[in-house]
Amino acid sequence: MGEVGRGSRWLDLLTGGLLVLLLWQLLATLAHTPALPPPLAASAAFFRLIGREMGWHLLVSLWRVVASLALGLVTGVPLGLYLGRQERPDRPGARPSALARLLLPVVFLLYPVPKVVLLPVVVVLLGVGDLAKIFLITLIIFFQILVTARDAAREINPLLVLSMRSLGASEWELYRHVVLPASLPKLFTALRISLGTAVAVLFFSETFATTKGIGYFVVDMLSRLAYAPMFAGVMAMGLLGFLLYLLLDGLEAWLCPWADR
């Protein structure tokens, strides 16, 4: 049944991709302008350039996105799970720790702030290299992952925690065997959302004071009025996000086999 479901999913993806290409071809035909090349011309430019300079720009962007997601994950998940557990303590009469009471208002105040406006400040402080871009992307997705992890930890059935405590489980064992596994499906949802955010912020950051990355390549081609290569860069950025999305899906199916059931 699982194999049939996976086959059907790939067929749906193929059908959706063909529909996008047909719509693109229709718009290119109706617009009849060099600014919107047909998919065949953009695809030809993509395969011509992917083994040359565009491939290098794509690898730089891939590194920035993966590094940002990894940093956001290892910092946002532990803190989010901790805050969620502190907000919903399982022991009668227990109160959040002093650290949690200090951090929760900070998260509440900083989460709605649009961090992308800090790009000029980050560039001034960290320069125009990879560090500034990775830091900005990580800063933005950190709060998305943290808030989702906190909510996931708050919603865990307290009976699961109490049953583990009755068996003498330590706090670390609770996190390892109950809190983290129960939160994993929602954490993967947060990662998918953060991936889309990371790619969007990546494009924005790569158009500012840089000469590397697929975002820079797209804007550079636009400035040269090379529309087919520009759309090839757009396709490359879309492919980057799509393949990472599939990777997250595969990891979730491997780590959370109970989620589909």
Whether 122 is covered by a domain: the verdict is: yes
Write out pLDDT tens, residues 103-160.
888 888 888 888 888 888 888 888 878 898 999 999 999 999 999 999 998 888 888 8
Whether 59 is covered by a domain: the verdict is: yes
Residues 10 and 122 in one domain: no
Residues 6 and 84 in one domain: no
Number of domains in the chain: 2
pLDDT of residue 93: 59
Q: What is the CATH number of the domain that holds 132?
A: 1.10.3720.10
Residues 95 and 179 in one domain: yes
Whether 125 is covered by a domain: the verdict is: yes
Residues 5 and 67 in one domain: no
Residues 102 and 199 in one domain: yes
Residues 81 and 190 in one domain: yes
Residues 62 and 24 in one domain: no
Distance CA 27, CA 44 (A): 18
Identify which of 63, 87, 16 has the alpha carbon closest to the alpha carbon of residue 240. 63
Residues 22 and 45 in one domain: no
Residues 7 and 132 in one domain: no
pLDDT of residue 141: 93
pLDDT of residue 137: 92
- 91: enclosing H helix or E strand: none
Whether 261 is covered by a domain: the verdict is: no
Residues 218 and 239 in one domain: yes
Whether 236 is covered by a domain: the verdict is: yes
pLDDT of residue 110: 85
Residues 6+ away with beta carbon under 8 Å from 89 = 95, 96
pLDDT of residue 91: 62
Residues 177 and 217 in one domain: yes
Where on the phi/psi map is residue 74: left (φ > 0), alpha (ψ -120 to 50), or beta?
A: alpha
Residues 119 and 173 in one domain: yes
Whether 94 is covered by a domain: the verdict is: yes
Distance CA 84, CA 179 (A): 10
Domain containing 14: what range?
A: 1-32
Is the distance from CB of 117 to CB of 93 less than 8 angstroms? no
pLDDT of residue 211: 84
| Regions of the chain with pLDDT less than 70 | 1-7, 89-94, 259-261
